[in-house]
Amino acid sequence: MLPDRGERQIRWATTAAVVAVAGIAAVVSYRHMRAVALQYGEDPLNSTIIPVSVDGLIVAASMSMLSASRARRKPPWLAYTLLILGSVASLSANVIHADPQLTARIIAAWPSA
Q: Which of 85, 112, 93, 96 is nearest to 21 (CA)?
A: 112
Residue 43 φ then ψ, to 5° = -75, 165
In 40-76, alpha helices (H) = 44-70
Spell out the per-residue pLDDT of the chain, length 113, in tens.
Answer: 556 888 889 999 999 999 999 898 889 999 999 999 999 999 999 999 999 999 999 999 999 999 999 999 999 999 999 999 999 999 999 999 999 999 999 998 888 77
Q: Are 87 and 58 in contact (CB under 8 A)?
A: yes
Return d(Cα 98, Cα 57) in angstroms, integer. Answer: 23
Residue 111 φ then ψ, to 5° = -60, -40
Q: Are 97 and 36 in contact (CB under 8 A)?
A: yes
Predicted TM-score of the model (pTM):
0.80
Q: Are 58 and 90 in contact (CB under 8 A)?
A: yes
